[in-house]
Amino acid sequence: MTERLRLATLGRHAAAGGALFRVGAASSLRHPRSLLLNAVFVALSMGILITLWSVVLPDSTFRGNGKYDFISLVWYLVIAQALLGPSLRLAGKISEELKDGTVGYRLLQPMPFVFSRLASYLGEAVVTLVVTGAAMALAASAGAGLPDLSWRTVSGLVVVMGLSLLIGFWVALNIGCLSLVLGTSGPLDMAWHRLTLLLGGGLLPLDFYPDQIQRVAEWLPFRLSLYDPARLVFGVENGELLSIVSAQAGWIFVLAVLAGVSLRMSLSGGKLGGS
């Protein structure tokens, strides 16, 4: 009987999660002009960057390391920049929900706040990722050409990009929890995205950085959000994909535990709105 009840509860949660995923996706499509303008902007930016790189970067940049070529480098940037977008301003939204009573309201719902927010975020993120990624991919195809990717690489990309989105969510949730103490999520959110852009390889692969910076970045989670997923366009060696997935899963677990502790402490201390 208990097992049936658990399965029924899981079924309700899955159905609710699917519905919230669709709601999140629909909310992103609710403003098609804004979505289209953003796609045009990122496509133009990518086209300008490709033109600059073709002039500024000499052929010697790619010598000495066979995995680099101009086309792969362009597509590396497409993936890295596409992954940077979905979590922008997410911490601010979560912070407002933690303060305005949304958490207290959702505690009464059939699905916990964290997982309902995650389902909604994933719906929004997938739409943003597909639209902006497609726009940049068109610009990259026209300006540099198509990369030579195997099905193994493509399937690996899907997995690590999905895990990258999860890292972005759990980081945003932790920042939102900290905003209850700091009063705002803005500075921490900006610091995370700036550091991810710089130390996560959002501008160039970390292999182009000085050795000292590479050693520091290797121990930080920023690279798991952008560099590790995007570098799959250079090819995947045996065991490399498993190593990336394991590291991402490990950080997701750590971030989820930290967020759970923060939410429980805030709830017990009466800091959450509506609690």
| pLDDT (0 to 100) of residue 161 | 93
Residue 273 is assigned to a structural domain of this protein = no
| pLDDT (0 to 100) of residue 170 | 92
| pLDDT (0 to 100) of residue 64 | 44
Q: How many separate domains does the chain show?
A: 1
Q: Which of 94, 128, 102 is nearest to 262 (CA)?
A: 94
Residue 230 is assigned to a structural domain of this protein = yes
Quote the distance between the C-alpha of residue 81 and its chain's center.
Answer: 10
Identify the helix (H) or strand (E) that includes residue 4: helix 2-28
Residue 274 is assigned to a structural domain of this protein = no
Q: What is the domain range of residue 63?
A: 2-268
| pLDDT (0 to 100) of residue 59 | 56
Identify the helix (H) or strand (E) that includes residue 36: helix 32-56
Residue 121 is assigned to a structural domain of this protein = yes
CB of 39 closer than 8 Å to CB of 139? no
Name the stretches of the chain with pLDDT < 50: 63-64, 108, 110, 274-275
CB of 192 closer than 8 Å to CB of 171? yes
Quote the distance between the C-alpha of residue 86 and its chain's center.
Answer: 6
Residue 133 is assigned to a structural domain of this protein = yes
Residue 275 is assigned to a structural domain of this protein = no
Q: How far apart are CA 192 and CA 177, in angstroms?
A: 15
Residue 217 is assigned to a structural domain of this protein = yes
Quote the pTM value. 0.84
Place of tokens 């429980």: 264
Residue 229 is assigned to a structural domain of this protein = yes
| pLDDT (0 to 100) of residue 21 | 67
Q: How far apart are CA 177 and CA 32, in angstroms?
A: 31
